[in-house]
């Protein structure tokens, strides 16, 4: 889990635009963030399995 200070720091506007980074609003994870769903892959998988993300189904072929 991320510290509260780092979560707060991610919401602030950086001095330089290059320094901005995305963080999952649910768990605070920095890596493997998906912009389309605004969450990390871990939270995405969990919510998709529960059926809480509309239009997302488990692939089967």
Confidence of residue 1 (pLDDT cuts 50, 70, 90): low
| Mean pLDDT (the chain, rounded) | 89
Question: How crowded is residue 61: how many other Cβ atoms within 10 Å of its Cβ?
Answer: 2
Tell me the CB-side half-sphere exposure of residue 20, using CA atoms within 13 A.
8
The domain that holds 9 is classified in CATH as 4.10.830.10
Residue 60 lies in a domain: no
The number of folded domains in the chain is: 1
- What's the pLDDT tens digit per position in 20-43? 889 999 988 999 999 999 999 999
pLDDT at 9: 85
Rounded to two decimals, what is the model's pTM? 0.76
Which residues span the domain enclosing 16? 4-50
Residue 57 lies in a domain: no
Contact 28, 6 (CB under 8 A): yes
Which segments are annotated as binding site for Zn(2+)? Answer: 24, 27, 40, 43
Residue 30 lies in a domain: yes
Residue 59 lies in a domain: no
Residue 25 lies in a domain: yes
Which segments are annotated as binding site? Answer: 24, 27, 40, 43
């Amino acid at each position: 889990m991320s510290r509260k200070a780092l979560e707060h720091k991610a919401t602030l506007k950086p001095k330089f635009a290059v320094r901005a980074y995305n963080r999952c609003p649910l768990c605070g994870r920095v890596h493997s963030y998906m912009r389309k769903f605004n969450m990390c892959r871990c939270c995405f998988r969990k919510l998709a399995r529960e059926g809480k993300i509309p239009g997302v189904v488990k692939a089967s072929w």
